[in-house]
Chain A
């Protein structure tokens, strides 16, 4: 998906001379074409994340449409205050492209995981948060972000993900139904989609809905998509707190909705397990088998 996003922006940059790419010393194998084609509008601002964000805010104030590319902890955590004050508080149309969502990089260690990024991003007013589930959605996210007049965060895993939708969806601003069904709906976003698709195949009649725009949550469209649904199961490659599941929980409470809700996510503790991504997903109960199990339990 990262290539889908970057390639799309690279194409746009041909016509739009204000598009500027900033890297925080990441992007090997991804950003070269942009850098080669538009050397004046590319900057590697090195391993200096506070300056990377502040400087980008300045570029934005000078009239550039800035995209910043980095691994999520070095895009949102190290420089959270810069993202908060310089970009979001000032409502600048900067796009943060984060890679390595969830436990993509396992077992690199906790420093390189992003299992709390949504919790952080959700604290930031003005920030739209997109978590595409496949290259179709990723392309729409890139289009949305390029046109946005306000800050956007795009949460990506890596490259090489398969399309999950049979036909290209039209918009990421509303939930996208992956599989029709009733009674129970599984809501998901982002890279966990490959496990979700496997689970969906085993669960005909269960509704599966991708929610690529996590903030702001389009509750009107979601409410419509959840007609004939009594139980919602959210699944995400993120801490079980602070992500989509928590947003849905808030919505249910705020609007006194009659849904039952179960949240699948990574247990809220530091990860000391040494496993690859799939091993982590299994361990934390967000893999296809765990999703199937949770749905079957809810059916009973």
Chain B
């Protein structure tokens, strides 16, 4: 498939995923919509382009761990579009006696690879899995999506410190760099930049991309990183795709009302 055609297809899937996120956020009246919208293109690119994952070859599938698990609505939406969870399961998100919690529980649905929610956990599990697969000669790739705010956790840097020494080159970390965390901007709160240099100093191979541009995301996926772990620093916009949510701190928390839902869906038509 030609690049532009492929990108159109991915954009269409991402639009569907965004619509599903808005719908379910409104139904469940839950927060973290902005987060889900900032990372959804990255997750779409993983599941619909990069990862080897199918029901037929389940035991050899690539692994994706959503370490910034408050973006779970994005993962659930993509899993539904991929056919790994049913519409009914998706619809039970955050419902009383429902199916899926706001943060990940691996026992709830196929395709939820690791339980997560507290930040700075999934990344380290991804490293351990990748190392395990390598030792077992399993040709499986592991991807972990972490937040920029999440990168303030010491555990991230503990893992980063050991990963390059262990030459974990079947693992890719992706940073959803939307520069908005729970109560401020990482760049204002800590010495977040120069983030690429930090990872490089820890022995990783960093690539900086526009996290909403499929050509750039895929190009970074395709870059070889033999002998070293890779980190893709994806510049994103919180709330991307819905104009009134974009780059707004409040959309870490706000609830999508019926009225706002209609407005958002119109933009995502």
A interface list, Cβ under 8 A from B: 40-41, 43, 45-46, 48, 50-51, 53-64, 81-82, 85-86, 89-90
Contact = CB atoms under 8 A, between A and B. Distances in A.
Nearest to A54: B124
A55 B131 contact: yes
Contacts of B128: 54-62
B253 interface: no
Interface in B133-173: 133, 135-136, 138, 154-155, 158-159, 161-162, 166
Contacts of B120: 50
A54 B155 contact: yes
A261 B155 CA distance: 43
A89 B128 CA distance: 17
Nearest to A56: B128
A217 B70 CA distance: 36
Contacts of B114: 57, 61, 90
A40 B135 contact: yes
A86 B136 CA distance: 22
A50 B150 CA distance: 14
A165 to B, nearest CB: 38
Contacts, number: 94
* Interface bin, chain B: 20 to 34
A82 B158 CA distance: 13
Residue among B106, B126, B129, B166 with max Cβ neighbours from chain A (10 Å) = B129
B12 interface: no
A62 B63 CA distance: 10
B124 A63 contact: no
Given A50-B154, A58-B127, A61-B129, 15 more contacts: A46-B162, A48-B161, A50-B124, A50-B158, A51-B159, A54-B121, A56-B128, A57-B128, A58-B126, A58-B132, A61-B114, A81-B118, A85-B115, A89-B105, A89-B115
Nearest to B128: A58
Contacts of A82: 121, 124, 155
Interface of B: 105-106, 113-118, 120-121, 123-133, 135-136, 138, 154-155, 158-159, 161-162, 166
Contact of B162 (A45, A60, A61, A81): A45
Given A45-B162, A85-B116, A58 B124 contact: yes
Contacts of A58: 124-132
A63 B158 contact: no
A43 to B, nearest CB: 8
B129 A51 contact: no
A259 B142 CA distance: 55
A85 B106 contact: no
Nearest to A61: B129
A85 B138 CA distance: 26
Contacts of B136: 62-63
Contacts of A48: 158-159, 161-162
